[in-house]
Structures are given as C-alpha cells and as structure tokens.
Amino acid sequence: MSKLKIAVQKSGRLNESSLKLLKDCGFNVNNGNDQLKVSVENFPIELLYLRNSDIPQYVEDGTADIGIIGENLLIEQKKNITILLKLGFAKCRVSLAVPKAIDTNELSYFEGKKIATSYPATLKTFLNENKINAEIHAIAGSVEIAPNIGLADGICDIVSSGNTLFKNGLRETKVILKSEAVLVQSHKVNSDKKALIDQVLFRIQAVLRARRNKYILLNVPNEKIEAVAEILPVLESPTVLPLAKKGWSSLHSVIKEKEFWQVIDALKMAGAKDLLIVPIDKMVY
C-alpha cells in the first residue's frame, strides 16, 4: 500500500501543535531533525516538512495528500483544496492596525492611505467589499515596522495576543477574518489514500473531542438524581452507581470544557457533592 503523505510546517507556530496532534493520535512521529521527508513507523504515513507558504501548493498539486495549515493562508492563496476539519489550535485573526496616535477606528481612515501587509489578496478583497480605496504594499515580513519608517499609514497582519502590535506602537482597529489551523485535502487522492485519510480523520476527531470535554464523577442523594442528570450535557445518559452510603449514588458523565464552570455551579446548587474532574485521553463514538 502506498503511503499517505501529510504536509506539516517545518518550523513556526503551527509546527509543535501539529506534531503533538499526530502523536496524540498514536502515530510515532519523528520531529524531522532537518529532514524534509520522514516515515511514520507504525502507520503508512510519510511526513513532509515544508515551509508554511508552500503547503497549499503541494496539497493542490497532489504532492501531499493532506496538510495542516492556517485557514488564513488558505484564504489568501485561494488554492483549490478542501478543508476537512478545523483543529482548534493556532487561533489568530487577520486585522487592520494603525499607530496609537490615530484616535479613530473607522474604516474611512484608510481611504487614500498606504497599508502594508503580508496578505494582499485578503486585504484587497476586504477593501473592495467596503468600497475603500487604499494603496497596498505587499511585504514578506516585519510588517509592524512599516508605519514607524514612513512606508505605510497602517498595516494588515496576523494578530494573536496583540503584544507585537503594542511593542511597535500600533493598535488593532478592525478584524478582517478569524483563523485557526485546519486539516486540508487534495482533490487528487485515490481511493486507497482516501481510506487512509478516513482512518487519520477518525483518530483526530477522537483526540479533539477529548480535548473539548472533561470526565466528571460526583455523588448525589438518590432523590436528586433526576434533577442533577438534567443538568449534565451527556452523550446519552449518565452512568449511575450505588454508593455504600445508603440513599446515595455516584454519577459519571462528560461535560464540555467551555461550559465547565457554569455546569459545576449548577450541579452544586442541585445537591451534587464530592465532584471529581478527570481529563479525557481519547473520546470515540
């Protein structure tokens, strides 16, 4: 059987999280050690370590069957590839920013101005949609310095925490799009490769579900089981086990990470005691 070729970023903000995801899926991944092509020992996978900006082209050409890239790059390059799954890490936004001295957030500020960016296609589309006429200066890197050296009146760039903008005397004024890491697929994969992709996708989904949820164990008086069970956002229904203490039971269930504290507060008010929260390694259904 031919190997499934997966393109990942060789270095940068996506590299570590991408490799961790694959390792959490049970793949014995080698980190590369300056190699551009590495075979996975326990699954028919070949990893291609590539420059981030090259991954969409490799996937579109079919040189890589699937890849992990930032959604923002996919939007910028407009390649003919399919997003299979959003992965929940490397979240950022592409935003407009101006010098701190500028006291307006209105888009009209950019009318007739110069904007430096590494995302000229994305910016051009946004400006056209909002009927703003501005001069776009495409820059490969260090976009934040452009206003300070008189090259531009503002910038359009990736923002995560906003610290880089702050350090360069800039502030964010408008979010153009939000992005995160995505798993993408070539349109040129054959049926054998598609079967392998389905297996990889199944494992990734199990890992991502586990990351989004927590396992919860709690004790509750028997007369309050029904009320407590209604609070738990479970897959089917909670597991109920009798305790040695007469009139009490232990409930086991799953709660979503983003709803964690709201659910915990509601459970305590409903009479739940001795709550124990446990991380989930994999979640398969």
Confidence of residue 9 (pLDDT cuts 50, 70, 90): very high
Checking phi first, is residue 222 left (phi over 0); if not, alpha (psi -120 to 50) or beta? Answer: alpha
pLDDT of residue 12: 83
CB atoms within 10 A of CB 128: 10
Which tokens hold the place of 72? 């923002």
Nearest-CA neighbor of 187 among 261, 81, 89, 102?
81
Q: How far apart are CA 160 and CA 254, in angstroms?
A: 30
pLDDT of residue 131: 96
The string of pLDDT tens digits covering residues 136-194 is: 999 987 899 999 999 999 999 999 888 889 999 999 999 999 999 999 999 999 998 99
The string of pLDDT tens digits covering residues 85-107 is: 999 999 999 999 999 999 999 99
Q: How far apart are CA 109 and CA 186, in angstroms?
A: 40
Number of domains in the chain: 3
Q: What's 7's DSSP letter?
A: E
pLDDT of residue 84: 97
Helix/strand/coil (H/E/C) assignment for every residue in 173-208: EEEEEEECEEEEECCCCCHHHHHHHHHHHHHHHHHH
Domain stop point among 124, 155, 179:
179
Which residues, 6 or more positions from 92, have their beta carbon under 8 angstroms from its beta carbon? 70, 72, 158, 159, 160, 178, 179, 180
Domain stop point among 121, 156, 189:
189
Q: Are residues 30 and 141 in the same domain?
A: no
For residue 237, the domain's CATH number is 3.30.70.120
Confidence of residue 32 (pLDDT cuts 50, 70, 90): low
Question: What does pLDDT average to over the chain?
Answer: 91
pTM of the model: 0.86
Q: Are residues 63 and 98 in the same domain?
A: no
Nearest-CA neighbor of 66 among 93, 34, 27, 35?
27
| Residues 145 and 166: beta-carbon distance below 8 Å | no
The string of pLDDT tens digits covering residues 42-75 is: 999 999 999 999 999 999 999 999 999 999 999 9
Question: Quick check: is 196 in a domain?
Answer: no
Question: Quick check: is 140 in a domain?
Answer: yes
Nearest-CA neighbor of 21 among 241, 220, 200, 244?
200
Q: How far apart are CA 245 and CA 251, in angstroms?
A: 14
Question: Quick check: is 207 in a domain?
Answer: no
pLDDT of residue 33: 62
Strands 135-138, 114-117: parallel, antiparallel or unpaired by DSSP? parallel
